Structure 1
Amino acid sequence: MLKKRIIPCLDIKDGETVKGVNFVDIRSAGDPIELAKRYVQEGADELVFLDITATVEGRKTFAELVEQIAHEINIPFTVGGGISSVEDATVLVKAGADKVSINSAAVRRPELVKEIADEFGSQFVVVAIDAGLVENEWKVFVKGGREATELDVHAWAKQVEELGAGEILLTSMANDGTKSGFALELTGKLAEELKIPIIASGGAGSMEHFAEVFEQTKATGALAASVFHFGEIPIPKLKQFLETKNIAVRI
């Protein structure tokens, strides 16, 4: 049985880890290098590092910080923010990233997914989808959740899968930071429709929420930030809890 992944997310702004609610109301959550090291010790399966203002401010992900983090950890590591070309991805590969996450740039120019997959392999390409409800329909949002598009989330996910994405990082903006649980219906439908893995993101507030997303959907990973950063859910305890629910995790 494929073991489910527990994935802390480090949102980076100006070199420090931050966390918001519904993509706004940002507050500091600590030093990213120290957090990354702590998560390795606690048994996180992977890390995601997102420079949350890179696209909005029109600059590149802070490759130097990626390099520093890569030196300190020995688990898979995804990096995103401001990646708009194969050259940008190459810089991050050289800095030590195992995968890159693309979002707004892929919406602007979908062939970017294929270009990066052709260069490095599908397993290297994570397409992040920020999903928001617009008149009761799930639409793709860009620019850090600030701008709605006309793209339907389901159609876009299928398109990037066909272009060579190896994984989808699905964030429900309505759930993000609320600690009210993952968007189970949306996650469940997408995981049924696609052949590639889906990481559920947005809304984790309790250990039960992680169990729900693994029991009720085919998501292969669950991502969270504040509940891990502020010690509300220790990863070792979470994994023990999931084991009691007969959910396969790496201990």
Structure 2
Amino acid sequence: MSLAKRIIPCLDIQEGRVVKGVNFLDIQDAGDPVEIAQRYNMQGADELVFLDITATHQDRSLTYDVLKKVAKNVFIPLCVGGGVKELQDFYRLLETGCDKVSINSAALANPNLITQAAQAFGSQCVVVAMDIKWNAHQQSWNLYTHGGRKDSGIDLLQWAKEVSDRGAGEILLTSMDADGTKNGFDLKSLQALNTILQIPIILSGGAGTMEHFKEAFIHGADAALAASVFHYQEIHIQELKLYLKSEGICVRF
């Protein structure tokens, strides 16, 4: 596991544009994906996540034309997800210039896809995304599919253990309750996962201040992912890294 903590901006793509919402709703335009990706590349982001957020819901493949333009313009690791259904999609994405592939709905529908992809491309290539909501009645986190539209009824901790056992290299954990609120990451779900997992966790949903990133790392996140605070330039990545370094968090420059 890498000692240095990673800062990862996320490009949520809809109809060829970067968009951002709150709690997965109220989607607003945030700009051109190539321009934004280039900015993050220059600012010192450690990786970039590109998610076609309506591909699975609309039952279509990912927008490859936009992805190709982004891949050509960034020189940091690129993780891509949205509409990935089978092993062939992994091949196509890796040929396009991606370094990692994120799967969510397809992994829940066919868990063996995780195993196949890890065997074919190596665990480091396979990121399993988990969109979660707290279920007060069951006192557990439920996994949601299809861009947060469908409650799978599956428990986060049970699924995370299976995902790890099947060879996934990383988990991208997004709290739908915290998403876009800027009130801080969901540290409880992170801590619960860390008690049962050895693989890295990318924590997503809720970043609003530099302190929130520090809290995520102190509580065991290997990487912190955010969108709106970076898109709207409320937090500059280089300044964030300087702050984290001053707080004793190991980051890459």
User: Normalization by structure 2: what TM-score?
Assistant: 0.97
Letter of the 2:208 partner, please give it: G
- Distance (whole Å) between structure 2 residues aligned to residue 19 and residue 207 of structure 1: 19
Residue in structure 2 matched with residue 187 of structure 1 by the alignment = 190
Q: 2:16 corresponds to which residue? A: 15
Instruction: Give how far 1:193 is off.
Output: 1.4
Q: Deviations over 1:168-211 (max 9, x none)?
A: 00001100000010001111221231111000000000000001
Q: Distance in 2 between matches of 1:227 and 1:187?
A: 21
Amino acid at match of 2:244: L
More divergent stretch after superposition (185-194 vs 144-153): 185-194
Q: For residues 19 and 155 of structure 1, what CA distance do their matches in structure 2 show?
A: 30
Task: Note the 1:126-137 alignment, pairs <5 A.
Answer: 126-134=127-135, 135=137, 136-137=139-140
The amino acid across from 1:112 in the alignment is L
Q: CA separation in 1, counterparts of 2:12 and 2:130?
A: 15
1:218 to 198, 217, 220: 220
Contact preservation (8 Å) 1:130, 1:170: yes
Secondary structure, counterpart of 1:133 in structure 2: strand
- The alpha carbon displacement at 1:218 in A equals 1.5
User: The residue matched to 1:59 in structure 2 has which SS?
Assistant: coil
User: Residue deviations 1:125-146, cap 9 Å, x none?
Assistant: 0000001112232011111111
CA deviations on 1:148-173 (whole Å, 9 max, x unpaired) are 11211011011011111000000011
CA distance in 1, matches of 2:70, 2:120: 24
Q: Give aligned-pair identity as a percent.
A: 53
SS in 1 for 2:195: helix
The one-letter code of the counterpart of 1:244 is: S
2:110 equivalent in structure 1:
109
What is residue 57 of structure 2 aligned with on the other side?
A: 56
Query: Given the alignment of the two structures, is residue 145 of structure 1 paired with residue 148 of structure 2, yes or no?
Result: yes
Whole-angstrom distance in 2 between the partners of 1:76 and 1:109: 26
1:158 has 2:128 as partner: no
Give the paired residue count.
250
Instruction: Give the CA deviation at 1:35.
Output: 0.5
Residue 29 of structure 1 corresponds to which residue in structure 2? 30
Distance 1:77 1:93 in 2: 10
Match of 1:204 in 2: 207
Q: Which residue of 1 aligns with 2:231?
A: 229
Aligned to 2:244: 242
Task: Find the aligned partners of 1:122 and 1:234 in 2 and give their Cα distance.
Answer: 31
Once the two structures are TM-superposed, the CA of residue 62 in structure 1 deviates from its matched residue by 1.3
Amino acid at match of 1:248: C
Aligned Cα root-mean-square deviation (Å): 0.9
Match of 1:3 in 2: 4
Which segments of structure 1 move beyond 6 Å, counting only runs of 4 or more?
Answer: none
Q: Secondary structure of the equivalent of 1:29?
A: strand
Q: Secondary structure at the match of 1:149?
A: strand
